[in-house]
């Protein structure tokens, strides 16, 4: 294994052949490549749902299962004797079995593949295994406990792990950051300076904290053995500004205990509750993401909602709908990705050509029916912008995102709806909405505009590394391509500003950071495609540098593979080649004019040789990003539709040359 790792970190130099020689060698294979892509496309089309959309499993790490058990203890607390037999016990047993199945040889649990054990995932797994009756003398529990203490104990966990366990008196409340509902009443829209996902997490969590509700654990079990004897419990002190927030947190805890503030607190909780409930409508759960949905259930329960209350029932039903349940095991999805999967699948099929027109029309009709027509949180900063855009999930009306909207607009270039006028109107609104969501620095973020108050990262509960939604190269690149494919030019002000953003944010080595995909390969391929689509002469050097970097990080086997570890080390971290990342690199290189390079030929060959008989590919490495350094996602269709897009693009350009 050591030799393999060393080999992967020493890529063989790519020897470039002369263009005429390579051209003569590869032109005969373009039809073969198209055949490979066509086989994959045929399989992909069979996965389209009758309604017109695609959606694949979206999976993450064991923390979702651990938190599911935690929620069951909250909703179905043990009796006075400590006995715990909730109605969901069959599912809890499946969750336990799945958690144990994912334990690593060193006793811990990781947050991405291939990745080392991580403290939060390991503490959560151990704690919930103990709560469900696992013997702490079991060798698996001993291994986990020893590893936790070796990593610094529960004191090294992030705020959300500590907050979760403080609700059961498993971690001292006084050493957890306060999330006051009074945030809702501060003038100046402070809440909307935080990222959309942070908003939907902290509002219900602030309600839970404010009510002061705590629950017993089964048999009053504790996890004191996870506390490192030589580590402090106090909030981590990072720098002077962070220390000021910690002092403010201490003062706020004192203020909370005063009787005179009760009316202020009651009003703040009411505002938070109203905000939360309003965002449950037209949505598959609050924010349509796992943590927000979980905390909204806990918040309604803490507020005294009876179990037959329709809002609580709906929230639980939507949360449970994230499960992927088998006979013996269970996996939880962090959310669902139908719009995203449908847009990319449709675009890939359209770029390849030859897709069934009826299937493409069904996809277009389905997408058009999901255009957002009401104002959401984004309108706090863009109140006069006409609503439009698309979300990631089936329904999440308050949170359309720019990335999905750009991707849908690319898909609709190929997919023609049954109502052309409706499509034209939706496309026009979508383009205008994207233009209106450009940030001051020229880039585009995911959900918001100018969401970049870096001082908020100093708040004690900001250590989930997702307090803000800043502009990023990957989304900006996709937006530029989407707009320029619709006729925008480099001389148009939004395009010129987007180009400036990408040129300014290119790394010295030629790569770009990838916020929503792993990592530099993702950011670089999208930045290159965006810049090339503008036709800007001033971007040529940047594109060439980006292409050169992609070739430098190619694996010896001809593919590309990048680990999530790079988010921690802030550099490219090589891993085994993957279909999705190989496709991304090929798309970047082909856009940069490198179609005849050895790097592209080797990458195409890598995909051809590893295609399975049914036209798909295998991929075990995590290539999707949720919160860098904290939470990662495995998109189960990435391995199929991105290679179709790459191979189809290759074949089309070869045929045209």
Among 377, 403, 448, 640, the active-site one is 403
Share of the chain above pLDDT 90, in %: 86
pLDDT (0 to 100) of residue 57: 97
Query: pLDDT for 576-596, tens place per residue?
Result: 999 999 999 999 999 999 999
In the structure, what pLDDT confidence band is assigned to residue 363 with cuts at 50, 70 and 90?
very high
CATH number of the 63-332 domain? 1.50.10.20
The runs of H, that is alpha helices, within 152-289 are: 159-166, 196-211, 240-256, 262-278
Note the pLDDT of residue 278.
96
pLDDT class of 29 with cuts at 50, 70, 90: confident
Instruction: State the pLDDT confidence band at 418, using cuts at 50, 70 and 90.
Output: very high
**Strand stretches in 499-640, DSSP E:** 624-627, 631-635
State the alpha helices, DSSP H only, in 151-239.
Answer: 159-166, 196-211
403 catalytic? Reply is yes
**How sure is the predictor about 237, in pLDDT bands with cuts at 50, 70 and 90?**
low
**Given its phi and psi angles, is residue 480 left (phi above 0), alpha (psi -120 to 50 degrees) or beta?**
alpha
Pairwise pLDDT comparison (150 vs 465), residue with the higher score: 150
Between CA 366 and CA 368 the distance in angstroms is: 6
4 pLDDT above the threshold of 90: no
Res. 136: pLDDT tops 80: yes
Residue-level pLDDT at 20: 52
Average pLDDT over residues 43-57: 98
Say if residue 7's pLDDT is above 70. no
Report pLDDT digits (tens) over 280-325: 989 999 999 999 999 999 999 999 999 999 999 999 999 999 999 9
- Checking if the pLDDT of 89 tops 90, the result is yes
Query: Span 477-485, mean pLDDT?
Result: 98
**Nearest CA to 579 among 548, 557, 597?**
557
Average pLDDT over residues 9-31: 50
What residues have CB less than 8 Å from 180, skipping those under 6 apart? 206, 209, 210, 252, 256, 268
Categorize the per-residue pLDDT at 187 as very low, low, confident or very high, splitting at 50, 70 and 90.
confident
pTM to 2 decimal places: 0.94
Q: What is the pLDDT of residues 549-565, one digit of tens each?
A: 999 999 999 999 999 99
Stretch 589-605: mean pLDDT, rounded?
97
Low-confidence winner among 21-35, 36-50, 441-455 (lowest mean pLDDT): 21-35
Q: Give every CB contact of residue 90 below 8 A, 6+ residues apart in sequence.
A: none
Domain locations in the chain? 2-59+336-453+466-656, 63-332
C-alpha distances out from residue 241 to 145, 244, 349, 456, 459, Å: 34, 5, 51, 10, 9
Mean pLDDT, the chain, integer: 93
User: Do 2-59+336-453+466-656 and 63-332 agree at the fold level?
Assistant: yes
Question: pLDDT category, 491, cuts 50, 70, 90?
Answer: very high
How far apart, in Å, do the first and last CA atoms of the chain sit?
Answer: 43
What gap in Å lies between CA 299 and CA 281, rounded to an integer? 16
Question: pLDDT (tens digit, 9 = 90+) per residue, 378-392?
Answer: 999 999 999 999 999
pLDDT of 531 over the 60 cut: yes
Which of left, alpha, beta for 387 (phi over 0: left; psi -120 to 50: alpha)?
Answer: beta
Name the nearest CA neighbour of 126 among 114, 115, 138. 138
Fold classified for 2-59+336-453+466-656: Glycosyltransferase (1.50.10)
pLDDT score at 188: 82
């Amino acid at each position: 294994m050591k030799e393999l790792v060393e080999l992967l970190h020493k890529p063989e130099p790519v020897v470039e052949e002369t263009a005429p020689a390579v051209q003569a060698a590869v032109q005969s294979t373009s039809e073969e490549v198209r055949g490979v892509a066509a086989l994959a496309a045929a399989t992909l089309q069979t996965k389209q749902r009758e309604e017109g959309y695609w959606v694949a499993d979206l999976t993450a790490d064991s923390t979702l299962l651990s938190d599911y058990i935690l929620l069951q203890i909250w909703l179905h607390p043990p009796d006075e004797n400590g006995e715990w037999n909730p109605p969901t016990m069959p599912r809890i047993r499946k969750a336990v079995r799945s958690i144990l199945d994912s334990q690593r040889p060193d006793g811990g649990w990781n947050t991405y593949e291939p990745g080392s054990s991580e403290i939060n995932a390991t503490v959560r797994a151990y704690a919930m295994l103990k709560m469900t009756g696992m013997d702490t003398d079991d060798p698996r529990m001993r291994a986990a406990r020893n590893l936790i203490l070796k990593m610094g104990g529960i004191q090294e966990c992030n705020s959300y792990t500590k907050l979760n366990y403080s609700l059961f008196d498993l971690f001292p409340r006084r050493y957890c950051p306060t999330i006051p509902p009074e945030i809702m009443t501060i003038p100046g829209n402070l809440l909307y300076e935080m990222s959309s996902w942070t908003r939907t997490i902290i509002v219900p969590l602030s309600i839970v904290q404010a009510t002061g509700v705590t629950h017993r654990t089964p048999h009053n079990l504790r996890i004191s053995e996870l506390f490192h004897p030589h580590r402090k419990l106090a909030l981590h002190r990072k720098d002077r500004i962070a220390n000021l927030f910690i002092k403010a947190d201490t003062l706020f805890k004192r203020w909370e205990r005063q009787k005179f503030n009760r009316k202020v607190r009651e009003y703040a909780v009411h505002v938070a509750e109203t905000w939360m409930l309003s965002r449950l409508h037209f949505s598959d759960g609050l924010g349509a993401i796992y943590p927000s949905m979980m905390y909204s259930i806990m918040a309604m329960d803490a507020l005294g909602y009876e179990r037959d209350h329709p809002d609580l029932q709906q929230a639980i039903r939507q949360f449970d709908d994230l499960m992927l349940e088998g006979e013996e095991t269970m996996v939880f999805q962090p959310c669902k990705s139908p719009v995203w999967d449908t847009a990319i699948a449709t675009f890939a099929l359209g770029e390849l050509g030859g897709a069934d027109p009826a299937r493409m029309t069904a996809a277009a009709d389905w997408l058009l029916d999901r255009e957002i027509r009401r104002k959401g949180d984004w309108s706090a900063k863009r109140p006069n912008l006409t609503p439009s855009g698309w979300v990631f999930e089936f329904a999440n009306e308050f949170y359309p995102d720019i990335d999905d909207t750009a991707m849908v607009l690319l898909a609709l270039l190929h997919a023609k709806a049954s109502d052309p006028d409706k499509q034209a109107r939706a496309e026009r609104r979508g383009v205008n909405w994207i233009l209106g969501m450009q940030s001051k620095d020229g880039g585009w973020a995911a959900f918001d505009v100018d969401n970049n108050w870096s001082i908020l990262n100093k708040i004690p509960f900001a250590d989930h590394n997702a307090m803000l939604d800043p502009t990023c190269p990957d989304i900006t690149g996709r937006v530029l391509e989407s707009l320029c494919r619709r006729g925008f030019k480099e001389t148009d002000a939004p395009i010129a500003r987007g180009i400036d953003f990408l040129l300014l944010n290119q790394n010295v080595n030629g790569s770009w950071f990838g916020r929503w995909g792993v990592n530099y390969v993702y950011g670089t391929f999208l930045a290159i495609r965006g810049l090339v689509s503008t036709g800007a002469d001033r971007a040529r050097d940047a594109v060439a540098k980006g292409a050169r970097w992609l070739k430098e990080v190619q694996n010896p086997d001809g593919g590309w593979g990048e680990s999530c570890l790079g988010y921690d080390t802030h550099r490219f971290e090589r891993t085994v080649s993957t279909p999705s990342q190989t496709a991304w690199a090929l798309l970047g290189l082909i856009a940069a004019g490198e179609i005849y390079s050895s790097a592209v030929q080797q990458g195409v060959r890598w995909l051809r040789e590893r295609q399975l008989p049914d036209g798909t590919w295998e991929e075990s490495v995590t290539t999707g990003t949720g919160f860098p350094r904290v939470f990662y996602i495995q998109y189960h269709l990435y391995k199929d539709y991105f290679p179709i897009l790459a191979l189809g693009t290759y074949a089309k350009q070869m045929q045209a040359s």
